[in-house]
Amino acid sequence: MFGKSGQIRKGLAVVIGALMLLLFPIAFTSAATPPEPTYGAAVVDGDYGEWDLSNDYFADMYRAANPNHDVLAKLYLRYDCSTQTLYALVLVEPGHPIDVDIAADNHFVKIASGTKLVDGNAYPPDGTLPDLAWIGLSADGTTATGWEASASLAVGTYGDLNVHTDVDDEETSAVANRAIPLVLDCLTAVELASINAHPAADGSVPATGFLAATVFGVVLFGGGLVRLRRRRP
């Protein structure tokens, strides 16, 4: 009896250990830790279903870029180290639609001390960087609920990322003081990615990993039980 419960405990430990190994590194690496973004890709197509609004959240965008004023939109970021592509998602707060029909230049991502990386002129997306796509574009094309965009940006440390959009009627919504830190550290990202096999960009890898761990654990645990039964007199 002692031996059987010991084996069962051993089997359970293997199952739990396999699950923890697979799940915990994913939990740590899939989240943005500003000033570092989530490391992964996105698809600029006007559907933000691939974004994880809790893990990819990067910064608030305030009225007039003033952190003492209301938050009118939120910024989410991802960075793909393999292509050195920055992906941005901007979603407005309820009641503050994007002012789409203002000048396309007013919706942008830039490094304040450098050139603009992407703006509304990159709409419609054509698969060539930079790209921008409206989210929830109204039938008359004058408002939207957000946008996603992609642009080339080299690995490095930046002190002045500015993401800006216009909402309501020509109202500025931008990150605090139009300059927040952004760190793109692909050495760390690659190291962690090799532990994980791949960062969880769209959730498909963790799902596969979870299934593999479950099958692996059940086979081990089941095999142990079968052996126990065979040994019983």
In DSSP terms, 63 is beta-bridged to 173
Which one of 56, 99, 119, 166 is in contact with Ca ion (CB under 5 A)?
A: 99
Cβ closer to Ca ion: 43 or 175? 43
Closer residue to Ca ion, CB minimum distance, 3 or 126: 126
Query: Coil, strand, or helix at residue 220?
Result: helix
State the number of CA atoms in the 13 A half-sphere of 232 facing the CB.
9
Determine if 105 is a binding residue for Ca ion (CB under 5 A). no
Binding mask 126-145 for Ca ion (x = CB under 5 A): x-x--x--------------
Q: How far is the CB of 95 from Ca ion (least distance, A)?
A: 15
Pairing of strands 57-63, 71-80: antiparallel
- The answer to whether 132 and 119 have CB atoms below 8 angstroms apart is yes
The residue from 101, 105, 177, 211 that contacts Ca ion (CB under 5 A) is 101
Give me the residue label for tokens 């050139």: 115
Minimum distance from CB of 26 to Ca ion (Å)?
21
Q: Where are the alpha helices (DSSP H) in 139-203?
A: 186-196
Q: How far is the CB of 101 from Ca ion (least distance, A)?
A: 5
CA–CA distance, 27 with 23 (Å, rounded to integer): 6
Look at the block and give the residue holding tokens 């890898």: 205
Residue with tokens 């931008």: 174
Within 44-73, the residues that bind Ca ion by CB under 5 A are 45, 47
Q: How far is CA 226 from CA 4, 8, 193, 223, in A?
A: 11, 11, 37, 5
Q: CB nearer to Ca ion: give 60 or 166.
A: 166
Binding map of Ca ion across residues 165-194, x = CB under 5 A, - = no contact: ------------------------------
Q: How many CB atoms lie within 10 A of CB 197?
A: 13
For residues 73 and 147, give the distance between their C-alpha atoms in angstroms, rounded to a whole number: 11
How many residues bind Ca ion, per CB under 5 A? Answer: 9
- Tell me whether residue 70 or residue 101 sits nearer to Ca ion (CB atom): 101
- Residue with smaller CB distance to Ca ion, 180 or 201: 201
Q: How far is the CB of 218 from Ca ion (least distance, A)?
A: 35
Candidates 66, 83, 86, 84; CA nearest to 148 is: 86
Q: How far is the CB of 117 from Ca ion (least distance, A)?
A: 12
Beta carbon of residue 143, minimum distance to Ca ion (angstroms, whole number): 7
By CB under 5 A, name the binding residues for Ca ion. Answer: 43, 45, 47, 99, 101, 122, 126, 128, 131
